Amino acid sequence: MYAVIQTGGKQYRVEPGKTVVVETLAGEKGTPVVFDQVLLVSSGDGGSVTIGKPTVSGAKVTGEIVQQGRGEKLVVFKFRLRKNYVRRNGHRQNYTAVKIAAIEA
């Protein structure tokens, strides 16, 4: 069984028992999380697929926060040829790792 959820302006395919890295959510390690914007639910064996318009009514995905962290550093480099313009900056995005417990459809 799997589902497609929407959080932080992005969509994620989730399965029970798997860990997914999403945009930062409020809460500490061990805090339960409920995703109620479920876009699709599938039985996973090629059977039934329920597609929402835009969300599946009554469906929710529950999970638990495993980690709050920061991603790898990305280098932002701006350059203009022959204009003596060079800018170098770095960025680390915050994230939340969530272990999916169950999908209720």
User: Residue ranges of the domains in the chain?
Assistant: 2-104
Closest listed residue to residue 98, CA positions, set 69, 72, 57, 58 = 69
How far apart CA 97 and CA 75 sit, in angstroms, is: 23
Contact 61, 35 (CB under 8 A): yes
What pLDDT score was predicted for residue 44? 77
What pLDDT score was predicted for residue 60? 95
Q: Which residues of the chain have pLDDT under 50?
A: none
What pLDDT score was predicted for residue 45? 80
47 by Cβ neighbours in 10 Å (0-12 / 13-18 / 19+) ranks as: exposed
What tokens appear for 90 in the block? Answer: 């770095």
How far apart CA 3 and CA 15 sit, in angstroms, is: 7
What pLDDT score was predicted for residue 25? 96
Q: Which residue has the tokens 């930062």?
A: 24
78 by Cβ neighbours in 10 Å (0-12 / 13-18 / 19+) ranks as: exposed
What pLDDT score was predicted for residue 105? 84
What pLDDT score was predicted for residue 52? 92
In this prediction the pTM is: 0.85
What pLDDT score was predicted for residue 46? 78
What pLDDT score was predicted for residue 21? 97
